[in-house]
C-alpha cells in the first residue's frame, strides 16, 4: 500500500505545483515569483515565458527545485505517507 501512496503523493505534489503555476497567471508574476524562490533572473525570465503547458512545467526541474516538499510542508501540506504512518 505504501508504494501506491508514494505514487499518488508524487502526482499530488505535481498537481499542487501545477495549481501554483496556474494561479500566478501572467508571465511577469511568474517571473517575480520564481525570482523570490531563488531562480536567477535570466532563467526566471525564460521559464516565465515558456510555451510549455502548465502540467509540463509542473513536472520540470524548475518547479521541482523551487517549490520543494519542504516549502509545501511549510504551507500546510501533509504527506500521505506520514499521515498513514501516524494512524497505523
Cα distance from N-terminal residue to C-terminal residue, the chain: 12
Overall average pLDDT of the 42-65 stretch: 95
C-alpha span between 86 and 81 (Å, rounded): 9
pLDDT at 19 over 90: yes
As a whole number, the mean pLDDT across the chain is 92
pLDDT at 87 over 80: no
Overall average pLDDT of the 42-57 stretch: 96
Counted domains in the chain: 1
Overall average pLDDT of the 17-23 stretch: 97
Structural domain range at position 16: 1-87
- In this structure, the chain runs to a length of 88
pLDDT at 88 over 70: no
Amino acid at each position: 500500500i505504501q508504494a501506491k501512496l508514494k505514487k499518488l503523493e508524487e502526482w499530488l505534489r505535481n498537481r499542487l505545483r501545477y495549481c501554483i503555476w496556474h494561479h500566478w497567471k501572467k508571465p511577469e508574476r511568474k517571473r517575480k515569483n520564481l525570482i523570490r524562490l531563488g531562480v536567477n533572473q535570466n532563467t526566471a525570465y525564460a521559464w516565465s515565458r515558456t510555451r510549455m503547458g502548465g502540467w509540463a512545467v509542473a513536472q520540470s526541474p524548475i518547479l521541482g527545485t523551487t517549490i520543494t516538499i519542504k516549502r509545501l510542508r511549510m504551507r500546510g501540506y501533509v504527506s500521505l505517507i506520514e499521515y498513514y504512518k501516524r494512524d497505523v
